[in-house]
Structure 1
Amino acid sequence: MKGKKTYSLPFLVVLFLALCSARTLNAQEEFLYGDPLPDAPELAARGKHIVGVQTMKLLHKNQIDILNSKAGKEVFYDRPLTVEVWYPAALESASNALTTYEEVMGTRGDSLRPLIPFTFKGRAVRDAAPKTSEGKFPLVIVSHGYVGSRYLMTYLTENLASKGYVVVAIDHTDSTFRDANAFYSTLLNRAKDIKFVLNEMAALTNTPLGKITDANRTGIIGYSMGGYGVLNVGGAGYSDGAAGFFGQMTGGSTAIQSLVASNPDYQESIDPRVKAVVAFAPWGMARGVWDAEGLKGLKKPTFFIAGSQDDISGYENGIKALYEGAINADRYLLTYMNARHNVAPNPPPAESFSPALHIDEYYRYADSSWDQRKINNVNQHFVTAFLGTHLKGEDHSQLLDIPENSNEKDWPGFKPRSSTGMELLHAQGME
């Protein structure tokens, strides 16, 4: 027919493949950190609440300035902390519920690891009013690794807020990408920062955010050095050997003595408001930070998460040894087989793919064996079940008391054939 175009079969095949490719690209562009993959487990999905997010600047007054102190002559300062808070928002519609987080790669901006700004999107509304119509929500405090930032685990912080939690992630001064400093500042301040933020959130009282925050039901989550901190806050006091090591690093400072298990004042400081602990790849056990007596003090329900090939914190002599030594805690150990240390962060940003950058910028986030988005979804699932059990009184036993080896049988809550390559151990506390 005159004027009618005809197309050859090869052209139609090429056109079909191009459309498929374009559709896949669009889907990738729309995928944000924390979104569920097709094989995401049951509790990975976001909850009913639209999420608000806001930044707070805090000041922990009269703290030991360990970077400028000398043995026998301590210097004090007001320690600044920036925190990000995610919470259920008083919004009716989820349309345009997006924000942009501003982050950097690198460490301190030195010549080998220069600071490189980048941004990524999240599913939250900046400075939205908190939802006060449903009473108070449990508090969750999140502590990043060394180095890291309050934005390192937004896939999890947003997810928990959508399920009815007030979630606070800390920028630990001297320990972020921007301001990383001598390691002994991190050793001293991690647990102190977490306790301070808990008290600050509890003190908000009549503010809109305070009206929805129940600090008496608090969960604490830490990754790597954050895990080092949350275990101490949870009751696992550091060893006398660790205190001696700290003294050697600092020229004789005893500042960390307040966090040592043998100190009676430390035993009195364990906070009853903390009801549950989640420790991603906690650092320190392989370095003698804890001993058997110190681990006996951890009596709060604890969920450990690890990679079986963790080359930073160690596995058999590190994270698994912590799990085995915490004999007085009702505890779990989720292991990603063949994964290394990065079992907690967001996926690597696209900017980290550049061959011009040090590969560690990519490996700050990525795992060499696992899809980070898959790890994120599994973390969302199990952390939701664990915190829901201990902070909200929900019954998730069918999702937590499951076969140890995921290769032998599909785990409950997982789609068929999707739960391979993991192990979940559970041990009851002796007290």
Structure 2
Amino acid sequence: MAKHFYFSFFALLFLTALHNSYAQHEFLIGDALPDAPELTARGTYGVGVQTINLVNKNQLDVLSIKDGKGKMYDRPITIEVWYPALVPDGVEEIETYTQVLGRNGTEDRPVIPFTFNGRALRDAVAIKDNGKYPLVILSHGYVGSRFLFTYLGENLASKGYVVVSIDHTDSTYKDAANFTSTLANRSLDQLFVLNELDRLSAAGSGSFLTGLVDTDNTGLIGYSMGGYGGLNTCGAGYSSGALGFFKTMTGGSDALNKRGMDSEAYKNSIDPRIKAFVALAPWGMANGIWDANGLAGLKTPTLFVAGSEDDISGYEKGIKAIYEGAVNSDRYLLTYINARHNVAPNPPASATMKPGLHIDEYLRYADSVWDMRRINNVNQHFITAFLGIHLKDADYQEYLNVEPDANTGNWKGFKPRTSIGMELLHSTPAID
């Protein structure tokens, strides 16, 4: 009996150790593939993760608008925060995230939870002896969630950033509502979160973020509708046509006017703390959201990322047109040739591949030509270089000063035979 007990006990310890080793070394979302470019690799910091529930008080409830008028409410905003952290020896740097399938602005697709793993430690102790870290804000599309690009949040935190990903109320897989709420609130949510991180990092806030965040060095990353809002946040005011479109959709509301290019209040809202912007497949140009005057208002250094066959935001008349029209920004355009709209999300989890599910559950994450893990790695590489230059004064310019055509095989940081199928354009600002 004793022998059997000791055998079982040590067998359990062995299996536990084996499981832990496997969990540490199996491929997880965000890990580097063998052909990943150089700056994909994680940094030297351990990564902690925490959830914070915020409330933006006394906001217009766009969904309540009737005959041009709406009620005020306290708008809830949940954020996920990744940050440099202490990971004790022998403790797994593994976090299980819960995402959901389902709702896409309709009630006929049930919300179904699923889980996936990433490389972070929940509630880990933040490292504060290296000074404050630049802030990076992630803003998802319609629909999406704060867990849409964990591969990027974890990776940047390991390189010495505090990364905050927003759940945009009325725009997530759980609570998708009328599109007007997303149109009106996206840039407002981004600015609110920036101000809240400034508050939470201040002395006496009682938050684990106290003394951790340098909000004066902020990068904003927006995907699809997050890019739509981010462009506006960074200086591209909406056109009169966009304001009219919103007014028609809401039965007469002028609520979006305060984000229009002709609004003095809008011009005064452009926040100098945002030093760099990454626009992943930004939506709106093909729908007349900006005119030449609005695009000229974007002066923040910007990295655009697109698929050449984007059928949601459009490419030639959409994302590339924004790139070409943002004449006062130092800007880049990274294009995945033949990719469609999904140039930002995590790869599809196994839960999205079950028989009987709506195909869009899979296509929210997948591209029909590109391996999403490959796109994730390339994004990590170029975003590391771009943010490093603008937020950390890092000497990464050589990774962006490459020939436009990747098929030459000479892109800095790419392994032999792996720089293929992409294009990187660069334009300097018309003004200083």
Alignment TM class, shorter chain as reference: over 0.9
Matched with 2:165 is 169
* Structure 2 residue 341 is the aligned partner of structure 1 residue 344: no
Matched with 1:125 is 121
Matched with 1:96 is 92
Tell me by how many angstroms 1:29 deviates.
8.6
Tell me by how many angstroms 1:353 deviates.
1.0
Q: Kindly report which structure 2 residues correspond to 1:241-280, keeping only aligned pairs within 5 A, or say none.
A: 241-280=241-280
Specify the SS of the correspondent of 2:189.
helix
- Structure 2: which 5+ runs fail to align? 1-21
Tell me by how many angstroms 1:243 deviates.
0.2
CA distance in 2, matches of 1:387, 1:94: 32
Matched with 1:7 is none
CA distance in 2, matches of 1:94, 1:216: 36
CA distance in 2, matches of 1:29, 1:395: 31
Specify the SS of the correspondent of 1:387.
helix
Matched with 1:222 is 222
1:188, 1:256 within 8 Å by CA — same for their partners in 2? Answer: yes
1:152, 1:346 within 8 Å by CA — same for their partners in 2? Answer: yes
1:202, 1:210 within 8 Å by CA — same for their partners in 2? Answer: no
Q: Kindly report which structure 2 residues correspond to 1:256-405, keeping only aligned pairs within 5 A, or say none.
A: 256-405=256-405
Tell me by how many angstroms 1:115 deviates.
1.3
Residue identity matched to 2:291: D
CA offsets, 1:301-330, max 9 Å, x none?
A: 000000000000000000000000000000
- CA distance change for structure 1 residues 94 and 285 in 2, over 3 Å: closer, same or farther? farther
Residue identity matched to 1:243: L
Specify the SS of the correspondent of 1:218.
strand
TM-align CA RMSD: 1.5
CA offsets, 1:98-149, max 9 Å, x none?
A: 1110110111695642211100111101011211111100000000010000
Specify the SS of the correspondent of 1:423.
strand
CA offsets, 1:179-209, max 9 Å, x none?
A: 0000000000000000000000001112331
Residue identity matched to 1:38: P
1:108, 1:114 within 8 Å by CA — same for their partners in 2? Answer: no
Tell me by how many angstroms 1:408 deviates.
1.8
Matched with 1:203 is 199
CA distance in 2, matches of 1:128, 1:258: 40
CA offsets, 1:313-354, max 9 Å, x none?
A: 000000000000000000000000000000000000101111
- CA distance change for structure 1 residues 109 and 310 in 2, over 3 Å: closer, same or farther? closer
1:202, 1:213 within 8 Å by CA — same for their partners in 2? Answer: yes
Residue identity matched to 1:153: F
2:105, 2:177 within 8 Å by CA — same for their partners in 1? Answer: no
- CA distance change for structure 1 residues 126 and 349 in 2, over 3 Å: closer, same or farther? same
Tell me by how many angstroms 1:72 deviates.
4.8
Matched with 1:421 is 421
CA distance in 1, matches of 2:229, 2:98: 25
CA distance in 2, matches of 1:409, 1:27: 35
Residue identity matched to 2:101: M
CA distance in 2, matches of 1:213, 1:105: 33
Identical columns (%): 63
Q: Which of 191, 195, 201 is the matching residue for 2:187? A: 191
1:222, 1:230 within 8 Å by CA — same for their partners in 2? Answer: yes
Residue identity matched to 1:276: A
Matched with 1:55 is 51
CA offsets, 1:5-58, max 9 Å, x none?
A: xxxxxxxxxxxxxxxxxxxxx799911100000000000010000000000000
CA distance in 2, matches of 1:94, 1:320: 48
1:132, 1:208 within 8 Å by CA — same for their partners in 2? Answer: no
Matched with 2:60 is 64
Tell me by how many angstroms 1:355 deviates.
2.1
Residue identity matched to 2:323: Y
Specify the SS of the correspondent of 1:244.
helix
Specify the SS of the correspondent of 2:51.
strand
2:84, 2:160 within 8 Å by CA — same for their partners in 1? Answer: yes
What TM-score do you get using the length of structure 1 for normalisation? 0.92
CA distance in 1, matches of 2:357, 2:334: 32
Specify the SS of the correspondent of 1:319.
helix
Residue identity matched to 1:373: R
2:348, 2:366 within 8 Å by CA — same for their partners in 1? Answer: yes
CA distance in 2, matches of 1:364, 1:305: 17
Specify the SS of the correspondent of 1:429.
coil
Tell me by how many angstroms 1:264 deviates.
1.4
Q: Which of 78, 83, 86 is the matching residue for 2:82? A: 86
CA distance in 2, matches of 1:239, 1:152: 29
- CA distance change for structure 1 residues 58 and 327 in 2, over 3 Å: closer, same or farther? same
- Further displaced range: 69-78 or 107-116: 107-116
2:93, 2:120 within 8 Å by CA — same for their partners in 1? Answer: yes
Specify the SS of the correspondent of 2:228.
helix
Specify the SS of the correspondent of 1:63.
strand
CA distance in 2, matches of 1:210, 1:141: 17
1:223, 1:279 within 8 Å by CA — same for their partners in 2? Answer: yes
- Further displaced range: 347-356 or 220-229: 347-356
CA distance in 2, matches of 1:54, 1:230: 24
- CA distance change for structure 1 residues 330 and 94 in 2, over 3 Å: closer, same or farther? farther
Number of residue pairs aligned between Structure 1 and Structure 2: 406
* Structure 2 residue 32 is the aligned partner of structure 1 residue 36: yes
Residue identity matched to 2:40: A
Specify the SS of the correspondent of 1:67.
helix
Matched with 1:136 is 132
What TM-score do you get using the length of structure 2 for normalisation? 0.92
- Structure 1: which 5+ runs fail to align? 1-25
- Further displaced range: 380-389 or 405-414: 405-414
CA offsets, 1:234-266, max 9 Å, x none?
A: 111110100000000000000011111111111
CA distance in 1, matches of 2:222, 2:276: 12
CA distance in 2, matches of 1:129, 1:227: 32
- CA distance change for structure 1 residues 93 and 135 in 2, over 3 Å: closer, same or farther? farther
Residue identity matched to 1:375: I
2:24, 2:92 within 8 Å by CA — same for their partners in 1? Answer: no
Tell me by how many angstroms 1:213 deviates.
0.3
CA distance in 2, matches of 1:187, 1:240: 14
